[in-house]
């Protein structure tokens, strides 16, 4: 479960990079700043999650073809995106990750996995804030 979560976080980061480089139009400058902040945060989360997988005796999936096969978040195509499309994709991807974060938290709680519980709680703060902001701006 943690490896699928890791692959989804990787795809989230990749999609946000794609949006960052391909957003066009009026109002894009504030979303570019938001994407920059999100990419930095997601990268830190990605590293912490990979370290958590190693800590509990697993091997984080790092192979790109395996990441694409395991992830439930699919990569977006490279093209121009307007502000509304970027907001919709960000909200959709963050919501998927948030749902999986809750599942990981439930599993960790049932198995008394304190490291995973702490990870989930910290990640939940990031996700909740960003989802709330994106919904407010709609």
Is residue 55 within 8 Å of residue 115, measured between CB atoms?
Answer: yes
pLDDT digits (tens, 9 = 90+) for 64-116: 999 999 999 999 999 999 999 999 999 999 999 999 999 999 988 998 888 88
The pTM is what?
0.91
Counted domains in the chain: 1
- 111: tokens are 């198995």
- 84: tokens are 């509304």
Q: Which helix (H) or strand (E) holds 87?
A: helix 83-110
CATH of the domain at 6: 1.20.1260.10
**Using 50, 70 and 90 to split pLDDT, how confident is the model at 137?**
confident
Output b/e per residue, 44-69; b: 16+ Cβ within 10 A.
ebbeebbebbeeeeeebbeeeeebee
Distance CA 35, CA 92 (A): 14
- 73: tokens are 């978040």
By residue range, what is the domain housing residue 60? Answer: 2-136
Q: What is the pLDDT of residue 90?
A: 94
Tell me the average pLDDT across 17-34.
Answer: 91
Is residue 9 within 8 Å of residue 42, measured between CB atoms?
Answer: yes
pLDDT digits (tens, 9 = 90+) for 114-126: 888 888 888 898 8
């Amino acid at each position: 479960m943690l490896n699928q979560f890791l692959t989804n976080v990787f795809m989230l980061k990749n999609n946000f990079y794609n949006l960052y480089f391909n957003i066009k139009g009026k109002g894009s400058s504030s979303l570019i700043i938001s994407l920059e902040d999100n990419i930095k945060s997601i990268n830190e989360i990605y590293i912490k999650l990979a370290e958590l997988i190693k800590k509990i005796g697993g091997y984080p999936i790092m192979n790109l073809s395996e990441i694409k096969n395991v992830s439930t978040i699919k990569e977006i195509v490279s093209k121009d995106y307007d502000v509304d499309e970027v907001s919709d994709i960000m909200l959709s991807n963050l919501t998927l990750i948030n749902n999986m974060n809750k599942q990981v938290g439930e599993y960790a709680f049932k198995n008394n996995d304190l490291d995973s519980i702490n990870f989930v709680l910290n990640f939940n703060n990031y996700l909740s804030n960003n989802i709330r902001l994106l919904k407010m701006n709609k």
